[in-house]
Structure 1
Amino acid sequence: MRARLLACWLIGLLLPSFGSAELLLLTEEAPPTSFRRDGKLEGYSVDVVRMLVQRTGHAVHMELLPWTRGYHLVKTEPDTALFSMVRTEEREPLFQWVGPILQGSTRFYSLKSSNLRIDTLEDAANSGTLALPKQWYTFETLQRMGFTNLYGVPSSKQMVTMLKHGRVKLIATEDVTLREELAAGGLRPEDVQAHLSFMQSDYYIAFSKKTDAAQVAEWQRELDGMRRDGSLGQIFTRWFPGASQR
């Protein structure tokens, strides 16, 4: 009898746990926070999520998708999360939130050679065409502010390319992604002039409402632990050397 019980116990250790479903973790192409390089997902947010997966022990599958597709899936499918998402009043009731994992400041940028001066939101609204991806929350925010000079584009690369070639006067983006976005469009940070900061954003991992709340709470506890033990700060320093966390 004892041998039989021992055998059952050993089999139980070898079998996978079916107590919780595999989580589908979605992200978008947004260097340096998340991107694909040589077929592998990399980036600041990817490293944070990977450490959370390691600490929670949850089974996951990670995919990179266009933002609109990922946003649709996390709104409708169980056991799904999307990172990194700005937490807003409009989105608050739609998801379960873990974070913040990153904070950013959004500014207007112009070519230095244009000698443009932007001291107020009114200046930005009257300075000529302002390009940014139409799927960004920033686009929605500026629309609500009454901006009528917005030009929606499909990607940040196209936004920067249009600025480089003088097709638009301004772009709007965040400090944490600026360098990579400029590089993708053929510009350097020294080519642009930073203007007014008009939005502070907190980025989260957004879990679907159909995900087990206990799992989500465990992710938040582990993230809080990463913040306390310094591992979150180490990841930040690796991806943003010289920058300071707010």
Structure 2
Amino acid sequence: MRCLGHLIGVILCSSLMGYYLVGGSAVAEQDEAQLRLITEPWSPVSYEDDGIAKGFAVDLVNQLQALMGTDSPIEVLPWARGFSIASATPNVMLFATSVDEERRKQFDFVGPILTSKISLYTRAEDSIEIDSIEELKRAGLIGAYRGSLGEGVLRRAGVSQLLIASFPQQNAKQLMRGRVRFWCQADIAVNSLLAEIGIKPDRVKPVFVISEIDLYLAFSAGTDESVITRWSEALIAYESSGQYSQLYHRWFGELNVPAGVDILWRER
């Protein structure tokens, strides 16, 4: 019975994926034509190489587009600029995006597509130990990425000693040059960002976790609900096929794969 159930599941998944590849493509092309896709330079999740968008989230979005029969280009923009566009313009998908109370009022979300811990990192030789936000407020300057969830969490906690950068690589450089004592960054991106500036991972260490987050595909206000639902269904089909898990482990090794797909509709 277990084998029969597995076979039925595979057949259903294959049928759903077949719908996107054949029957659903004409409808998808019509509805998706105006959807603008924006991501940020945040390796290995997303980045630009010789003008070409790459990274885990880029690969995922392109795989979902293939299922739906669409081929919209992906723009790689600084986070603050991409977020500003998505906040003011309908028919924009911004990824990969964390969720907070304010963003729930601005966007519809599909996912999660990724999980991560946002931590504060110091240089390896620094002996400091941080056990609370109150200790952190007295411990030194923190480098954070403009508009990031980490910046928001720290500001809401009353942490004011922040040095804000437009690109995450700048914060890493500031840490290594001694301009800041702490670097606020997500664990999944640390090694890649350090490699980009020629620094080995053992030169830094995490000292305090400020947040654990799920990251989503975010759709701007004014995007048709049928478009959002179609992206959700494509992600479910891709996950059910086993390809999602393979892609995740190819980029992130043995990190836990997010389970399940939901639509978080915008709070109105």
- What is the TM-score with the length of structure 2 in the denominator? 0.81
Q: C-alpha deviations, 1:47-92, integer Å up to 9, x for none?
A: 1101111112235232112222221222222322111111111101
One of 58, 68, 78 as aligned partner of 2:80:
68
Match of 2:41 in 1: 29
Is residue 221 of structure 2 the alignment partner of residue 209 of structure 1? Answer: yes
Is residue 172 of structure 2 the alignment partner of residue 165 of structure 1? Answer: no
- CA distance in 1: counterparts of 2:255 and 2:30, whole angstroms: 41
Residue pair 2:87, 2:220 contacting (<8 A) in 1 also: yes
One of 98, 112, 115 as aligned partner of 1:86:
98
One of 23, 26, 30 as aligned partner of 1:19:
30
One of 54, 60, 68 as aligned partner of 1:48:
60
Is residue 164 of structure 2 the alignment partner of residue 152 of structure 1? Answer: yes
Is residue 197 of structure 2 the alignment partner of residue 185 of structure 1? Answer: yes
- The 4+ residue runs of structure 1 with deviation greater than 3 A are 16-19
* SS of match in other structure, 2:114: strand
RMSD: 1.9
- What is the TM-score with the length of structure 1 in the denominator? 0.87
- CA distance in 2: counterparts of 1:189 and 1:53, whole angstroms: 34
Is residue 253 of structure 2 the alignment partner of residue 245 of structure 1? Answer: no
* SS of match in other structure, 1:97: strand
Residues 185 and 19 of structure 1, relative CA distance in 2, 3 Å threshold: closer
* SS of match in other structure, 1:128: coil
* SS of match in other structure, 1:48: helix
- Pairwise mapping of residues 194-205 of structure 1 onto structure 2 (< 5 A)? 194-205=206-217
* SS of match in other structure, 2:120: strand
The range that moved more, 184-193 or 171-180, is 184-193
Q: C-alpha deviations, 1:131-173, integer Å up to 9, x for none?
A: 1123212112101101122221222111111111112111111
Identity %: 29
- CA distance in 1: counterparts of 2:215 and 2:63, whole angstroms: 17
Residue pair 1:95, 1:206 contacting (<8 A) in 2 also: yes
- CA distance in 2: counterparts of 1:83 and 1:129, whole angstroms: 29
Question: What amino acid maps onto 2:235 in structure 1?
Answer: L
Residue pair 1:22, 1:59 contacting (<8 A) in 2 also: no
Residues 164 and 59 of structure 1, relative CA distance in 2, 3 Å threshold: closer
- Pairwise mapping of residues 221-240 of structure 1 onto structure 2 (< 5 A)? 221-240=233-252
Match of 2:152 in 1: 140
Is residue 144 of structure 2 the alignment partner of residue 127 of structure 1? Answer: no
Residues 111 and 59 of structure 1, relative CA distance in 2, 3 Å threshold: closer
* SS of match in other structure, 1:102: strand
Residue pair 2:62, 2:71 contacting (<8 A) in 1 also: no
5+ residue gaps, structure 1: 1-15
Give the number of the structure whose alpha-carbon radius of gyration is greater: 1
Q: C-alpha deviations, 1:95-132, integer Å up to 9, x for none?
A: 12111110110111101112121222222222111111
Residue pair 1:22, 1:61 contacting (<8 A) in 2 also: no
Match of 2:15 in 1: none
Question: What amino acid maps onto 2:30 in structure 1?
Answer: G
- CA distance in 2: counterparts of 1:108 and 1:234, whole angstroms: 29
Residue pair 1:119, 1:196 contacting (<8 A) in 2 also: yes
Residues 221 and 123 of structure 1, relative CA distance in 2, 3 Å threshold: same
